[in-house]
Amino acid sequence: MAGHQSAEATVLQTWPVASEIGYYDLEPGRLEQALAGRSLDAGAVGALSQVLTHQNNARRLDAQRERAEEQREEVYNAQSRIAEQLRVLGTEGAEGELRNRQVRELNGLQDRVSELDSEVRRLREEAGQARQRASAELGQLIAQRPL
């Protein structure tokens, strides 16, 4: 029977047909691996690098916002301590002078709270905008490179 012959084959090159990188798992090393492994072409890696840049910017802004919120909390605590001291201080003599200094300090702390409130809002908005840019870039990449 002629149909029962054998042949040898040597695999010279293999590559995955598909791979998956989670949106929140994007990082430069993984993109470089995908490029080296031919999972992604240079254009896709460049576009995903832009997405990653926007994500990292959002994370950095979130960290700054968290620090501003912590500072605001510290200022609130300082305001509470001063308010407690003001309850027991008199208005005459040395106590009156101390009271006036603490009232000025309390006013300064309130100004600082207002500044921090504005900073928290700004950082939150900027982080949201960076996330929107990342999402838009990713959407464009997906639209340009359908499966």
Q: How far is CA 53 from CA 33, 49, 57, 122, 144, in A?
A: 17, 6, 6, 19, 20
Pairwise CA distance, residues 64 & 60, whole Å: 6
Of 56, 29, 22, whose CA–CA distance to 45 is shortest?
29
Q: How many domains does the chain have?
A: 1
Query: Which domain covers residue 125, as residue numbers?
Result: 29-144
Domain membership flag for residue 113: yes
**For residue 36, pLDDT beyond 60:** no
Domain membership flag for residue 4: no
26 touches 48 (CB < 8 A): yes
Domain membership flag for residue 19: no
Q: What is the pTM of this model?
A: 0.69
131 touches 58 (CB < 8 A): yes
pLDDT, tens digit, for every residue of 7-20? 787 877 765 555 55
